[in-house]
Structure 1
């Protein structure tokens, strides 16, 4: 694996966890209460940025390989697995320790 692949995986991990760690929408707009719909929207945006960056890196390394639906299903599942630590912190540990 090249350094750009490691950087891409690190960025995917960061983009997957940021929605659950910050009370701001997209890290910019302050919200009084951030609900699960906001988190899903931010996950979708982060996934889009990560996918776009991955495609850019692949095109710079050579030709872009066509992928079937199985590839995208695995990538989405991997992205959700990356988001799991912050999800657990937000909804299980953080909520329980507030009281």
Structure 2
């Protein structure tokens, strides 16, 4: 696997966890609410999936060998993106924190 391929995998790992590791919209825009709702986090994951996918397609096109993809490709890559989000989900919702 090329360096660009590994870069996309690491970018997907970071992008999948970003919604769960902060309370800002897409990691940049502060929200009024104290905590983001799970629906906002899911919407962020979907947006970041497409951002990472577009970046991957750009790198693939620059390499000169862009391939057509069917629905199976998108189903598998989105499933992988959701699996990549597991550490952030675990940190946000399953780890018990002591009250300060």
| TM-score, normalisation: structure 1 | 0.90
Deviation at 1:63, TM superposition (A): 3.3
Q: Which aligned runs of 4 or more in structure 1 are off by greater than 6 angstroms? A: none
Unaligned runs of 5+ in 1: none
Which structure's residues are more often helix, by fraction?
1
Question: RMSD across aligned C-alpha pairs, in angstroms?
Answer: 1.2
Q: Which residue number in structure 1 is paired with residue 39 of structure 2?
A: 37
Is 1:28 the counterpart of 2:58 in the alignment? Answer: no
Give structure 2 stretches of 5+ with no counterpart. none
Residue matched to 1:19 = 19
Shift of 1:24: 0.8
Length, aligned pairs only: 97
Using the size of structure 2 for normalisation, the TM-score is: 0.90
- Give the match for residue 58 of structure 2: 56
SS in 2 for 1:97: coil
